[in-house]
Amino acid sequence: MKVYINGKFYSKNNAKISVFDHGLLYGDGVFEGIRSYNRLVFKLKEHIDRLFESAHSLMIKIPLTKRQMTEAVIETLKANRLNDAYIRLVVTRGEGDLGLEPRKCLGRASVIIIADKIALYPEKLYRQGLKIITVPTIRNHPEALNPQVKSLNYLNNILAKIEANNAGYQEAIMLDSMGYIAECTGDNLFLVKNQQLYTPPQCMGTLRGITRHTVLDIARKLSILTHEHVLTRHELYIADESFLTGTAAEIVPVICVDGRRIGSGKPGKITRLLMQEFRKLTKTEGVRY
């Protein structure tokens, strides 16, 4: 494996950054998770744009242009000879001292690109569906740390995952600070009711997921009515279908929430249709390398 760090490639064992990097000391940085399918990078522009937006919000100056960052991603994929890959982009504020003071990070921001094989969920999960649970840890209030910022501080989400694991589940629903459904720990949530598609709006605790956006686009093309609407757990319990979306997981059917069966308890018809159309798109769309 070859890992890109600040313009150079290092073997996995030598891919290291300073212990004084504020990304490590304070979670002071941003990231993206991107996927490539058969040498096509899916939604690369959208991911690069979001990375720069997250960094802009945190006043981290990325030492590359968007074009250079795009080229660095492609170069990393080529260097690793991967046809299907999961790409992790990380930008930290860089090396500082032991204080919080960001102005003491005098060097430049660190840019790390890791390309690896994707660890897929087992195929069985996509056929049978996932059982999930609501957990106590909520997403941050937007005026604490805005959930649109994909920062290196994912502790709420890690705690939510731990809470789900402790209860015997793989994935957790996180609410926002108002008590509405926000999303899962690394995926957006959708429900289907009366042939129409619903997902929480992009305010409060919900990340503007790129897969979420793609699924809304696909649904509109299929003439399925879509709503970005605040959702309560009750509305999810009485839904006909539900599923999660994310770069890593793609589209995962949800068949049970907090012990309540969703619809028939099997992946729904609209969910399966969207999965099929999404897979088609990943085979044909993207930046070739």
Q: Which positions touch ligand PXG (CB under 6 A)? A: 33, 157, 183, 186-188, 207, 209-212, 245-249
Least spacing, CB of residue 219 vs ligand PXG, in Å: 15
CA distance 15 to 193: 48
Least spacing, CB of residue 130 vs ligand PXG, in Å: 13
Q: Would you say 66 or 261 has its CB closer to ligand PXG?
A: 66
Q: Would you say 23 or 96 has its CB closer to ligand PXG?
A: 23
3-class DSSP state of 128: helix
The candidate with the shortest Cα–Cα distance to 92, out of 70, 76, 71, 107, is 107
In order of 81, 83, 283, 289, the CA distances from 38 in angstroms are 11, 5, 7, 9
Q: Would you say 105 or 112 has its CB closer to ligand PXG?
A: 112
Catalytic residue among 2, 131, 150, 161: 150
Q: Would you say 39 or 213 has its CB closer to ligand PXG?
A: 213
Residue 87 token pair: 């790409």
Q: What is the DSSP string of 67-86?
A: HHHHHHHHHHHHHTT-SSEE
In order of 87, 89, 152, 253, the CA distances from 47 in angstroms are 11, 9, 16, 24
Least spacing, CB of residue 210 vs ligand PXG, in Å: 3
Least spacing, CB of residue 28 vs ligand PXG, in Å: 17
Residue 126 token pair: 């996509």
43 is annotated as an active-site residue: no
Residues annotated as part of the active site: 150
